[in-house]
């Protein structure tokens, strides 16, 4: 499971997303739009980093298994 998929489908993340969707903010507010863009960018960066860490973890596990087949 990719990091982004996990973040998009985890119950905790969905609850936070619902909370953000229900927030009453004026449409077209430039400050809100800028904050949303910044948060979206940060979320995407964190999801990408999480995916990279998961891939690295898989490579480490594969290397450990090659060194010691009994390692699980």
38-66: pLDDT as tens digits:
999 999 999 999 999 999 999 999 999 99
d(C-alpha 27, C-alpha 50), whole Å: 32
* Of 37, 39, 48, residue with least CA distance to 5: 48
Rounded CA separation 61/46 (Å): 22
The pTM of the full predicted model, rounded to 2 decimals, is 0.53
> What is the rounded average pLDDT of the residues 7-36?
70
Question: Mean pLDDT throughout 24-38?
Answer: 83
> Rounded to whole angstroms, how far apart are CA atoms 6 and 48?
12
Round to whole Å and give the CA distance between 32 and 15. Answer: 20
Q: What is the pLDDT of residue 55?
A: 95
**What gap in Å lies between CA 52 and CA 3, rounded to an integer?**
9
Confidence at residue 1, expressed as pLDDT on a 0 to 100 scale: 47
């Amino acid at each position: 499971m990719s990091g982004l998929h996990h973040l998009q489908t985890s119950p905790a993340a969905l609850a936070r997303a619902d909370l953000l969707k229900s927030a009453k903010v004026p449409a077209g507010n430039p400050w809100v739009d800028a904050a949303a863009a910044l948060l979206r960018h940060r979320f995407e960066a964190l999801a990408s980093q999480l995916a990279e860490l998961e891939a690295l973890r898989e490579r480490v596990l594969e290397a450990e298994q090659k060194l010691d087949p009994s390692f699980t």
